[in-house]
Structure 1
C-alpha cells in the first residue's frame, strides 16, 4: 500500500479547490491517504534576510517531512490572476530553499478549479512546469471548469467531468503502484 499526501494550495477557508480535492481523494482506494491543510503550517513571506538571520521556520521542515514520507501527492492548485496564489508560491519558495529536490521521486496528480470556464488552467500549467524543477513527476493533471455549475453538495454534477476525474485517478493509481 502506497502513501499519498493531499493538500490544496489555497489559504481560503472556503476554498473550492479544497472541496474538489476532498471529493477526488475520497475516491482513492487501496492506499493510505493523508490530507493536510497548509494553513495549519503558517510561514512568513520568503526572504533571504529571514533565511540568513533566523534560518528556516520549523513549519518548512514539517511540510517537507510530510512530503518525504509520501510516495505520491495530490495537489489542488488555486489561481490568482492567471497563476498560483502567493500563498502556494511562498510555500514552494521555502521548501525549495530548504531542499532543492524536495519532490524527488514523487509522483504527482495536479488538479485545479475555478468559477470560470478555464478551470484555473494558468495555475495548473505553471505548477506542471515548476514542480518538475524540484524533482517531482507530474503524471496526470485535471482542470475542472465552472466549479459552481458543475459541483453541488460535495458532488460532481457534470457526468463528463466526473468520468474525466475517474480516468485521471485510474492513471494515477496505476502509476503510483509501479
Structure 2
C-alpha cells in the first residue's frame, strides 16, 4: 500500500555523477519499497540565480523557484542528500532553500516548510562521509520550521560504496538507509 504522504527527494548538487544524487535516488527507491510515495528531483533541472533581494524586488520569484515551491507544497516530507563543501552545505542547497522560503504574494514562504518532516543524508569520497555538513543542513531545516528526524545516513568513500548495479557494496549501509527512510515513512503516517 502506498502512503498518501508524498516525500520530495533531492541532492544539494547539480553535478552529473554526483555521489549525493546517487544517494538521493537510492533513498527514493528505499522510500518506495517501504510503501512511501517518493518524488526525486534533480536541482540541475531547476536553475535559479543566486538569491538577491534587489533581484527579487525587481523580478519577483524566478519561475524555477516557483516550480520547486509548488513541488514542496505538494509533499509532506523531505529527504535531502547534502554534499559537503569545505565542511559546510553547498551553495546550491542553501540558495535553493533561501528562494523556497521567500514569501510570494499571499503565501508565507516559511509556511511551505512548517511541520513537514525531513531526513538528511550525505555521501563523500572522504572518510567522514560528509557528516560535517549534516549538522548545518539539520540546523537550516529546523530554522525553517521543519521536524528533522535524528536518523541520518553518511556514506564515506562513496566512490567505492555503490556497486555497478546501483546497490551498496556494504549491506549494513543499505540497512542504515532503509532504517532512516522507513522512519520518515512511518513518522509521516503517524502524524496523519
Q: Which runs of 4+ in 1 moved over 4 A?
A: none
Q: Verify: 1:149 aligned to 2:152, yes or no.
A: no
2:169 and 2:72 map into 1 onto residues whose CA distance is 32
Deviations 1:104-147 (A, max 9, x none): 12111211110011111121111001101111111132111111
Deviations 1:55-88 (A, max 9, x none): 1111211111111110111111111111111111
1:100 and 1:122 map into 2 onto residues whose CA distance is 25
Q: Which residue in 2 is equivalent to 1:24? A: 27
Q: Verify: 1:59 aligned to 2:64, yes or no.
A: yes
2:178 and 2:93 map into 1 onto residues whose CA distance is 26
Among candidates 120, 125, 147, match of residue 135 of structure 2: 125
Q: Which residue in 1 is equivalent to 2:81? A: 76
Unaligned runs of 5+ in 1: none
1:121 and 1:162 map into 2 onto residues whose CA distance is 17
Unaligned runs of 5+ in 2: 104-108
1:160 and 1:33 map into 2 onto residues whose CA distance is 22
When the two chains are superposed, the root-mean-square deviation of aligned CA atoms in Å is 1.4
Q: Deviation at 1:31?
A: 2.4
1:101 and 1:146 map into 2 onto residues whose CA distance is 37
Q: Which residue in 2 is equivalent to 1:102? A: 112
Q: Which residue in 2 is equivalent to 1:11? A: 14
Q: How many residues align?
A: 178
Q: Deviation at 1:149?
A: 2.6
TM-score (norm 1): 0.93
2:122 and 2:12 map into 1 onto residues whose CA distance is 10
Among candidates 136, 139, 149, match of residue 146 of structure 2: 136
Q: Deviation at 1:37?
A: 1.1
Q: Deviation at 1:16?
A: 0.6
Which structure: greater strand fraction? 1
